[in-house]
């Protein structure tokens, strides 16, 4: 199984490297010239009283119930969003605390970042497009991570240029990427996830409102989703899914508790009701603590 996953992911990365090698190098050189403006992930601020909300760009993200959940408990959530999920949240007046850019293209530079509160952070990669970085409203809140991929000669050479920065494995699906970020560098031990579907839920590639489009792979499979209904998926999705399951067993499950609001093939039960009850109790407990503190002051 591990060998199958390795072959699938290596195949994906080899195709991407062939297509993107020139752009990766061009972006890396531009970012290196501006390196003094970037912060390191190890110096990022921790928010122990928040619950991490992981927003990937899969179809589940734009479910009205999920958007309502995020807005209802916004004060108690620390929101991580992939950049392709940003437009979905933005149009619903939800501003992520951390937006993560992995893509070397300049699509994200089209997003209306300028209206973001100044505390919002951009976590960019060593190969992020300079235009994306330039559009961020607060230059003091840009953190750089060093992509790592032992199977990629181009990324390995680039990583040497940014060796003083913290690294994250570039082979991860971007949704899993921010799960690792939340646990490893922000030290969150409670995560609520949505948009990590690994499938074409509702026959959609992405959540409604994203500016991203993909060319589907020729080969597709039909599997059962979390509701035991048939859903289409791709070899790449399956490869990323198997990798996520492996990393979850070996690392994530030992570090954090998860609630899943995903509707695809991620093998976790759909837990919107449980997440709702948990947040209700959390809010009530904090209300009581504040009430007790106020009584003590009188």
Q: pLDDT of 136-195, one tens digit each? A: 888 889 999 887 776 678 888 888 899 899 887 755 678 888 999 999 888 999 999 999
Mean pLDDT of the region 99-111: 78
pLDDT of 24 reads 87
pLDDT of residue 168: 78
Domain of residue 139: give its range. Answer: 2-271
d(CA 173, CA 180): 11
Using the predicted structure, report yes or no on whether residue 63 has a pLDDT greater than 90.
Answer: yes
Q: In the predicted model, is pLDDT for residue 113 greater than 80? A: no
Note the pLDDT of residue 39: 93
Nearest CA to 175 out of 126, 102, 239, 113 is that of 102
Looking at residues 18-40, what average pLDDT do you find? 88
Tokens of 152: 């990629």
Asked if the structure places residue 132 within a domain, the reply is yes
Q: What is the pLDDT of residue 277?
A: 97
Residue closest to 44 by CA, chosen among 112, 104, 120, 95: 120
CB-based contacts of 171: which residues, under 8 Å, 6+ apart?
9, 13, 149, 151, 243
Does 94 fall in a domain?
yes
Residue 60 has pLDDT above 80, yes or no: yes
Residue 60: HSE in the Cβ half-sphere, 13 Å Cα cutoff: 26
The sign of the dihedral angle between the CA atoms of 9, 247, 58, 119 is negative
Residue 15 has what pLDDT?
A: 64
Beta strand ranges found along 98-238 (DSSP E)? 98-100, 121-125, 142-148, 167-169, 190-194, 221-224, 230-233
- pLDDT the model gives residue 280: 96
pLDDT at 107 over 80: no
Mean of all residue pLDDT scores within the chain: 86
Q: Which two tokens mark 253?
A: 């499950």
Residue 282 counted as domain residue:
no
The count of domains in the chain is 1
pLDDT digits (tens, 9 = 90+) for 279-296: 999 999 988 988 888 877
Find out whether 153 and 23 touch, Cβ atoms under 8 Å: no
3-state secondary structure 60-108: HHHCHHHHHHHHHCHHHEEEEEEHHHHHHHHCCCCCCCEEECCCCCCHH
Higher pLDDT, 25 or 210: 25
pLDDT score, position 150: 67
Tell me whether residue 293 is in a domain. no
Position 284 scores a pLDDT of 93
pLDDT tens readout for residues 214-239: 667 778 999 999 999 999 999 888 88
Q: Which two tokens stand for residue 279?
A: 């947040």
Q: What are phi and psi of 153, to 5 degrees?
A: -65, -40
Domain for residue 247, yes or no?
yes
pLDDT at position 1 over 60: no
96 within a domain of the structure (yes/no): yes
Say if 193 falls within a structural domain: yes
pLDDT at 13: 59
Using an 8 Å Cβ cutoff, are 57 and 206 in contact? yes
Whether the pTM exceeds 0.95: the reply is: no
Q: Does residue 109 lie within any of the structural domains? A: yes
The answer to whether the beta carbons of residues 268 and 258 sit under 8 Å apart is yes
């Amino acid at each position: 199984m591990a060998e199958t996953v390795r072959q699938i992911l290596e195949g994906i990365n080899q195709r991407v490297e062939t297509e993107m090698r020139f752009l990766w190098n061009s972006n890396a050189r531009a970012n290196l010239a501006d390196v003094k403006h970037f912060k390191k992930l190890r110096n990022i601020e921790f928010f122990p009283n928040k619950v991490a909300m992981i927003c990937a760009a899969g179809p589940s993200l734009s479910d009205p119930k999920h958007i309502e959940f995020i807005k209802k408990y916004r004060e108690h959530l620390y929101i991580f969003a992939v950049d392709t999920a940003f437009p979905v949240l933005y149009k619903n007046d939800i501003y992520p605390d951390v937006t993560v850019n992995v893509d070397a293209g300049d699509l994200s530079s089209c997003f209306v970042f300028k209206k973001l509160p100044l505390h919002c952070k951009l976590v960019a990669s060593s190969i992020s497009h300079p235009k994306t970085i330039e559009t961020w409203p607060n230059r003091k809140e840009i953190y750089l991570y060093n992509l790592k991929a032992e199977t990629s000669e181009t990324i390995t050479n680039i990583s040497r240029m940014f060796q003083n920065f913290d690294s994250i494995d570039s082979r991860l699906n971007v949704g899993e990427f921010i799960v690792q970020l939340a646990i490893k560098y922000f030290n969150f031990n409670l995560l609520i996830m949505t948009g990590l579907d690994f499938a074409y839920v509702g026959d959609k590639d992405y959540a409604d409102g994203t500016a991203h489009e993909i060319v589907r792979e020729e080969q597709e499979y039909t599997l059962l989703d979390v509701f035991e209904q048939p859903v289409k998926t791709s070899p790449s999705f399956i490869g990323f899914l198997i990798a996520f399951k492996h990393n979850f067993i070996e690392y994530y499950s030992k570090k954090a508790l998860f609630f899943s609001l995903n509707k695809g093939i991620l093998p976790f039960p759909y837990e919107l009701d449980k997440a709702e009850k948990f947040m209700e109790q959390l809010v009530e407990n904090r209300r009581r603590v504040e009430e007790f503190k106020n009584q003590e002051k009188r």
